[in-house]
């Protein structure tokens, strides 16, 4: 079935297996981050940026609550994000701002691709470490891929796009690698916004 939506990874990756898709995204993360960060930043060009958030991928933590007091002694419940979540979202904002190079946030529907690369545990045997780097062992522990996605999306709000509700297509994966980080690519789709 043909659509008018862009297929940034090409037809082969879009129609191929998940393993092939993750491999293609991984190659993009290794090979074209500098090039991708520069594409689509010219005035009037469709948005097409990519960047890497360095370090171990982190998921969005649950908001916490505490009882706080106002100046007059009255108590209320204050909700706040964990410190790790705030710091990670700030790291996402910095990487996204650098990739946007002063461009205004997109108002259009977007496709978001992300690959979270986790470090291989040093306590594993060399054989198991090699298997993990080959993709034969996958990172099935924390952080959850959905929570990583949420932290990255919230970090890009008002920088890459006006609101993360504009993400109409998301391709994501989690794997082991020698260098931990999250590769992110955001591409405007050939469609109008409902708003």
Q: Where are the domains of the chain?
A: 10-188
Look at residue 65 and give its three-state secondary structure.
strand
Stated length of the chain: 195
Q: Residue 13 has what pLDDT?
A: 36
Neighbour count for residue 126 (Cβ, 10 Å) = 7
Return the sign of the alpha-carbon dihedral for residues 32, 136, 179, 155.
positive
Q: Residue 41 has what pLDDT?
A: 53
- In this prediction the pTM is 0.72
Structure tokens at 105: 């946030």
Between CA 175 and CA 20 the distance in angstroms is 13
The pLDDT tens digits of the residues spanning 111-139 come to: 999 999 999 999 999 999 999 999 999 99
Which residues in the chain show pLDDT less than 70? 1-44, 63-64, 66, 80-81
CATH architecture type of domain 10-188: 2-Layer Sandwich (3.30)
């Amino acid at each position: 079935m043909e659509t008018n939506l862009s297929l940034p990874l090409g037809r082969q990756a879009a129609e191929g297996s998940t393993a092939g898709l993750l491999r293609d995204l991984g190659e993009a993360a290794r090979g074209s981050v500098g090039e991708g960060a520069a594409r689509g930043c010219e005035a009037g060009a469709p948005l097409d940026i990519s960047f890497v958030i360095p370090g171990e991928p982190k998921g969005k933590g649950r908001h916490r609550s505490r009882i706080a007091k106002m100046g007059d002694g009255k108590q209320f419940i204050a909700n706040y994000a964990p410190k790790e979540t705030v710091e990670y979202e700030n790291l996402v904002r910095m990487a996204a701002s650098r990739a946007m190079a002063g461009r205004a946030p997109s108002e259009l529907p977007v496709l978001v691709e992300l690959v979270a690369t986790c470090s291989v545990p040093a306590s594993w045997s060399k054989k198991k470490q090699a298997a993990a780097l080959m993709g034969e062992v996958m990172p099935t522990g924390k952080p959850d891929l959905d929570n990583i996605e949420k932290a990255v999306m919230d970090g890009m709000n008002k920088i890459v796009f006006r609101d993360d509700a504009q993400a109409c297509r998301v391709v994501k994966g989690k794997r082991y690698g020698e260098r931990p980080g999250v590769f992110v690519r955001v591409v405007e789709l050939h469609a109008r916004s409902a708003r």
